[in-house]
Amino acid sequence: MAMTESPNGAAQPVLSDGPEAQPAALVRCEGPLAPGATVAVQGEDVAVLVRDGEIAGVLTPQSRNPADYTGAYVYRVYTRLFEGMRFGGPVPLEGVRGVTGEAEVEVTDPVRLVSAMIAADVPVDDLEVWLSERMMECVGEVLVQLHGRAKAHAIIGGIIACTACMEEDVGVVARDIGRIRLLK
């Protein structure tokens, strides 16, 4: 872990990410921050600081750390295209038990996502499951409307278009659907 000097001369950890590789998760949580700690943000990532269940601040690579964020938790949000978010579950379609697939998603509003996670009491470790459930609402709706009347690319296009409601609610949108499989 990198260290920096605090205003009083003591060594303090700098919490930072590397900008290169895709992380294992869309959001990671660190903290609480010690007195005088600074938060380094690199690349296109955003750090959303939360204290006492409220958004205390938002940091980008261009931000400085003028405020005291002692005790805040740092939610590091990956804002580039995130590949391989799995989704799946039952759908209300006769003769089909369920659907599985993978999507490329992008966080378009990190503050909205973290706020929605806090409001729904979703731990970071459960985020992918929670987003999968939200995505399945879109998938089920589109499959029921288009099943038997459209080719696979039209169904996938419909699902991507339908995730606009997910973007409005939680600040995450599907940009592409890889493979989608109907379980019969």
134 three-state secondary structure: helix
Q: By mean pLDDT, which of 17-21, 102-106, 128-132, 152-156 is the weakest?
A: 17-21
What are the tens digits of pLDDT across the range 158-178?
677 767 777 888 888 877 776
Domain ranges, ordered by start, for the chain: 3-77, 82-183
**Residue among 7, 177, 180, 30 at smallest CA distance from 114:** 30
User: Does the pTM exceed 0.85?
Assistant: no
Strand partners, 29: 75
CATH classification of 82-183 is 3.40.50.720, yes or no?
no
